[in-house]
Amino acid sequence: MRSGAIAVGCAAFLVLLLAGCETDTEWDAAADRVVTRKPSAPGTAAVKPAARKTRPTAAAAAPAAPAAAGILAQFPEFEQMAQVARLEGAQLAAFEAKVRERAEKVERLEKGKIGQQRDDLKKKLTEAQEKNDQKSASALQEKLDAASKEYWDLRTAYRAEVLNQLTPEQKRAWVGHCLFNRLGRSLGRLDLTEEQSRKARAISDQTVAGLMAKGDITQSDPYLKSLVDVQGEVLERIAQKVLTEAQRQRLPSPGAKDAKSK
């Protein structure tokens, strides 16, 4: 009985926390739909804490491709990726070159036909919504969704190219870092001991090993959005095998979100 409550409680907890847990420091694809409703509410950085940012205007949507010096410093998540993977020497140089190449591709994409089309559709959609023209807004949203899919298919491919500079072991290390970073948003509130943290990380790493054994998710899902599908299960296993009863009691009850919103 208690096990079922923990499972539902963990799921409820994740619903409250995962909205801002993207692994990429750039704009999540879901922001395309959000930005048309609330232009000032995009995604946030996940790997390094950062203040929530507003979506840049069309003119400033993509900064010019950074100069060669300090390329990783201008992309904090890729910088952290290099640190987690312990890149050095020729491999680090190749990784930096691929990050620079990606920045140039994104800049061309933003300034090109697809990027401009998205910006135009967003502007028109906002105008239709302000006029409460639901028919036009619905048609424009469909066009924006189609344009955004094309845009994010390209962005996803660019990111996969960067991740493919890592070895299989380094990819596992990065995915493991991302998953545990997300879990840490929950577990960090429970005052774990060092031993509990080690055990929780071991459970997280076992999950990652299983995922990577089935296929390279850094290529099929370079933004690692599919980690959402396993976080509830991993958190429940940690709750059962690592947390004390007092810590489990601090997990939100299944109806916590609804009660709070009323």
Q: Which of 7, 26, 10, 27 is nearest to 18 (CA)?
A: 10
188/29: higher pLDDT: 188
- Cβ distance 65 to 111 under 8 Å? no
What is the C-alpha to C-alpha distance for residues 164 and 96, in angstroms, rounded to an integer?
Answer: 12
**Please, are residues 87 and 95 in contact by the beta-carbon 8 Å criterion?**
yes
Answer whether 205's CB lies under 8 Å from 176's CB.
yes
What integer pLDDT is reported at residue 65 of this predicted model? 43
Q: Do 144 and 125 form a contact (C-beta atoms < 8 A)?
A: yes
Least confident window among 16-20, 197-201, 211-215: 16-20
Residue 252 has a pLDDT of: 53
Region of poorest pLDDT, from 45-49, 120-124, 136-140, 195-199: 45-49
pLDDT in tens, 170-183: 999 999 999 999 88
The confidence score (pLDDT) of residue 184 equals 82
Condensed to tens digits (0 to 9), the pLDDT of residues 241-258 reads 999 999 988 865 444 444
pLDDT above 60 (res 25)? no
Domain spans of the chain, in order of start: 2-20+167-261, 31-39+57-163
At 250 the pLDDT is: 83
pLDDT category at 188 given cuts 50, 70, 90 is: confident
Q: Could you give the CA distance from residue 181 to residue 237 in angstroms, rounded to a whole number?
A: 16
pTM of the model: 0.69
Amino acid at 219: Q
Per-residue pLDDT averaged across 233-240, rounded?
Answer: 92
Instruction: Please check whether residue 85 is in contact with residue 42, taking contact to mean a CB–CB distance below 8 angstroms.
Output: no
> What does the pLDDT read at residue 70?
84
What is the C-alpha separation between 164 and 95, in angstroms, rounded?
Answer: 9
Cα dist from 177 to 205, 207, 224, whole Å: 9, 12, 11
* Burial (CB count within 10 angstroms: exposed 0-12, middle 13-18, buried 19+), residue 152: middle
